[in-house]
Amino acid sequence: MTLAHLPVLVVVVPLIAAPVTLLLRRPGAAWGIAAAACAFSFAAALLLAAEVAARGPVSYQIGSWPPPWGIEYRLDVLNAFVLVLVSGVAAVVAPYAWRSVAAELPRDQVYLFYTMYCLCVAGLLGMAATGDAFNLFVFMEIASLSSYVLIALGRDRRALLAAYQYLILGTIGATFYVIGVGLLYLMTGTLNLADMAARLPGLQTTRPVLAALAFITVGVSLKLALFPLHLWLPNAYTHAPSAVTALLAATATKVQVYVLLRFYFSVFGLQLVTETLPMPEILLALSLIAILSASLVALWQADLKRLFAYSSVAQIGYITLGISMATKEGLTAAVVHLFNHGITKAALFLLVGGIALRAGRAGFDRLRGLGHSMPLTSIGIVIAGLSLIGVPGTAGFISKWYLVLGAIETGRWWLAGFVVVTSLIAVAYVWRFVEAAYLSAPGKRTPAPGESPPVMLVPAWLAVAACVYFGFDTSFTVGTARRAAALMLGEGP
């Protein structure tokens, strides 16, 4: 009986955990509830992914109202995969938050942190699970509002400004999305995504539908930080508490990418997006600029957290580059990179949070000689950095490999070259860390020898291990991504 209700429980358990943590008011109890809820969601997401892989899409009717009248949760290969990523990262970050949050936040705010954490996770999971366009908006706002709060909890006063800017841009993005959904609702009379897709053919070249596509594209692009709509991201990631940065960098933008994929390929359809409109060309151009400019800007950052924040913008460019190809290899690359980049960034920001705990912040002046004072953290960053670059044997290589395959398949050799060359810029910015940590003598601001506490180091190293593991065993990631790509291109499940 419980198994049949998993599609909704995966979202509802963190959602119920949020008010419980609020009522408990004690940091320890709140942390326990939050971590348990995230662990439950992760287990549920894994079961669901297995179920979907074995038996095909799962549908759940909220309140037993049949779709399209009621809200339907509909899981297929693609969003079950996203659920696994989000809940997995949330479950790894939650134990880490125990020490990290205690160190970075006043004690009387800690239980509120876990309330917001649960809400954010529930919102992100809900966005991935739901099959209803307006329900998606509600979950988008739950996730966004809680993440504005989480970012504003950062110690630095600039965290407030970053949260404010994110709030303004994020709300514009969500409002654009809801305008697009409104136009689609006017034309089709339904909010259920599957039903909408069934009614759209024949309306596809009407002006409201084209406007809806434009509004949804811009709105979601704002939220997923596609160049040039990424301006909120570096500040938000830099000034947020470490645990928040790790969670948001690994999941928030990825779920938005999923929303874009869902609307492009499941609702509007391949023909409208790629043939009637020049969306691939637009996405391609923006992705190329994003990769190039953000990677170059990352090179000059004085703070490791900010460097990786800019690198996130570049990596999102690789994901949208895969989407712009709109071929099986390209979409496989996009979905695989969505997952691989998620775990890579989680590993990096978790480790950087450990440095912030020991050194106050992760400015490069404090990283000198870090290889000796924090050896496990440093080697972890190097390994995850290799995954960021895309060195064979790491998860990052797999996604770059499919990206290059996709480029060659569509006959664009220059694009394959571009991917390889821009990876060299990633080498350069990861090298900056290696140079500071291993090739410089310890400066006066380098932290004294000693690792971050095990409760932080172990989750971080789990993420690092995942970066390496998914570089060798690709049956889960690539296998799922290929099936998701086939699904999106309408080649059957």
Partner 1 sequence: MRRFLVLRVVGKLLIPFMLLFALYVQFHGDFGPGGGFQAGVIGAAVIVFYALIFGLPAARRLVPDAVVESMVGLGVLLYAGVGVAGLVFGGNYLDYFVLGADPVSGQHRGIFWVEAGVAITVSGVMLKIFYMFAGRRRALEDQ
Partner 2 sequence: MSVAGHFASHYSYWITFVLMVAGLYIVIARGNLMKKLIGLSIFQTSVYLLYIAPGKLIGGTAPIVAPAFKVYSNPLPHVLILTAIVVGVATLALGLAIAVRIREAYGSIEEDEILAADRDGGERV
Q: Contact region for partner 1 (CB under 8 A) — 33-41, 62-70, 202-210, 306-314?
A: 62-70
Shortest spacing between CB 32 and partner 1, in angstroms = 16
Tell me if 231 contacts partner 2 by CB under 8 A. no
Q: If binding is defined by CB under 8 A, does position 66 make contact with partner 1? A: no
- Per CB under 8 A, does 185 bind partner 2? yes
What is each CA distance from 329 to 270, 296, 321, in whole angstroms? 15, 27, 11
Among 22, 36, 53, 161, binds partner 2 (CB under 8 A): 161
DSSP string across 450-477: -PPPHHHHHHHHHHHHHHHHHHH--TTH
Interacting partner of 178 out of partner 2, partner 1, none (Cβ under 5 to 8 A depending on kind): partner 2
> For partner 2, which is the closer residue by CB, 142 or 277?
142
Angstrom distance (rounded) from CA 253 to CA 344: 14
**Region for 175 from its dihedrals, namely left if φ exceeds 0, alpha if ψ lies in -120 to 50, beta otherwise:** alpha
Percent of the chain that is helix, strand, coil (3-state, to 5): 80, 5, 20
60 three-state secondary structure: strand
Residue 158 makes contact with partner 2 by CB under 8 A: yes
Q: What minimum distance in Å lies between the beta carbon of 488 and partner 2?
A: 27
| Binding residue (CB under 8 A) for partner 2 from 99, 361, 400, 432 | 361
Residue 160, interface with partner 2 (CB under 8 A)? yes
Q: Is 47 one of the binding residues for partner 2 (CB under 8 A)?
A: no
Q: How many CA atoms lie within 13 A of 341 on its CB side?
A: 29
**Dihedral sign (CA 195, 199, 201, 203):** negative
Q: Which of 10, 18, 37, 178: binder of partner 1 (CB under 8 A)?
A: 18
Total residues at interface with partner 1 (CB under 8 A) = 18
Residue with tokens 């040039």: 228
Distance of CA 458 to the CA centre of its chain: 21
With respect to partner 2, which residue has the nearer C-beta, 161 or 296?
161
Q: Which of 53, 138, 420, 489 binds partner 2 (CB under 8 A)?
A: 138
Shortest Cβ distance from residue 492 to partner 1 (Å)? 28
Q: Which residues pair with 192 in a beta bridge?
A: 132
d(CA 210, CA 216): 10
Tell me how crowded residue 365 is: count the other CB atoms within 10 A of its CB.
Answer: 15
Cite the DSSP H helix spans in 71-206.
Answer: 77-104, 110-129, 133-152, 158-188, 193-199
Region from 16-24, 76-84, 351-359, 392-400 binding partner 1, contact rule CB under 8 A: 16-24
Note whether 329 and 402 are within 8 A (CB): yes
Instruction: Draw the binding track, 188-217, toward partner 2 (x: CB under 8 A; -: no contact).
Output: ---x--------------------------
Sign, CA torsion 123/73/138/136:
positive
List the single partner that 185 binds among partner 2, partner 1, none, CB under 5 to 8 Å by kind: partner 2
What does the alpha-carbon distance between residue 34 and residue 109 come to, in Å, rounded to a whole number? 15
Instruction: Tally Cβ neighbours within 10 Å of residue 2.
Output: 8
Say which entry of partner 1, partner 2, none residue 160 contacts (CB below 5 to 8 A, set by partner kind): partner 2
**Minimal distance in Å, beta carbon 20 to partner 2?**
20
Report d(CA 122, CA 87) in Å as an integer: 9
User: Is position 8 an interface residue for partner 1 (rule: CB under 8 A)?
Assistant: yes
Does residue 15 bind partner 1 (CB under 8 A)?
Answer: yes
Q: Should residue 182 be labelled a site residue for partner 2 when binding is judged by CB under 8 A?
A: yes
User: Which stretches of the chain bind partner 2, using CB under 8 A?
Assistant: 134, 137-138, 141, 145, 148-149, 152, 155-158, 160-161, 163-164, 167-168, 171-172, 174-175, 178-179, 182, 185-186, 191, 360-361
User: Which stretches of the chain bind partner 1, using CB under 8 A?
Assistant: 1, 5, 8-9, 12, 15-16, 18-20, 22-23, 25, 60-64
